[in-house]
Structure 1
Amino acid sequence: MILTRETLWLLVGFAGQAAFTGRFVLQWLYSEYKKRSVIPTNFWYLSIVGSTLLLAYAIYRQDPVFIVGQAFGSLVYFRNLQLIAKNQKRKGISNA
């Protein structure tokens, strides 16, 4: 099987969508486990991975609506990780 440029970009798009969908599955299962609504830190990491891959795909497709939507989302995801780190530092919690 020959991997064409178009096939490669479709794989990038599907990988981004899988990561993006995976974050909702993670949040749902984690909340079920905790018996309350919880957003785990890995939700934000999956959001960044999915958003970055989808942004690359949107740029390749030259879709300005998709590009703006994914670019803005990444800012929110990084900010949430900053807030989590700041809160953990304030509480003296280590990520190690």
Structure 2
Amino acid sequence: MHWLMSVLHVDSRTELLWVIFGFAAQGMFTGRFLVQWIASERARDSVVPVAFWYFSLAGGMMLLSYAIYRADPVFILGQALGVLIYVRNLWLIHAKRRREA
């Protein structure tokens, strides 16, 4: 573990856990592109599945948490705006489904 901490330039176990969380958050956020790519390949058309927005929301919220921990105002602003957009898209999708039901 000491080797990993030195490679990642962290001074404490808590900091190491936050860095690992940050990598997991980035992985979740990147996963949305894989979901979209697979859905588009299957449809043979460019599509944005609902799962894309859920991955976006989960990854965005995780990255926002990490940004807040890091106290990075640029990162916080970017992720907070993204989270609002992801929530709004999911709201619109579910409102449309309710109207059509």
Shift of 1:90: 1.3
Query: Which runs of 4 or more aligned residues in structure 1 lie more than 6 Å from their structure 2 counterparts after TM superposition?
Result: none
Larger Rg: 2
User: Between the two proteins, what is the percent identity of the paired residues?
Assistant: 53
2:93 to 62, 67, 84: 84
Distance 2:68 2:91 in 1: 26
In the alignment, structure 2 segments of 5+ residues that lack a partner are: 3-11
Higher RCO (C-alpha under 8 Å, 6+ residues apart): 1
| Matching of residue 17 in structure 1 with residue 26 in structure 2 | yes
Residue 55 of structure 2 aligns with which residue?
A: 46
Which of 53, 56, 60 is residue 65 of structure 2 equivalent to?
56
> Number of residues paired by the alignment?
92
Residue 73 in 1 paired to residue 82 in 2? yes
Unaligned runs of 5+ in 1: none
Q: 1:34 aligns with which of 37, 43, 56?
A: 43
CA RMSD of aligned residues (A): 1.3
Q: What TM-score do you get using the length of structure 2 for normalisation?
A: 0.86
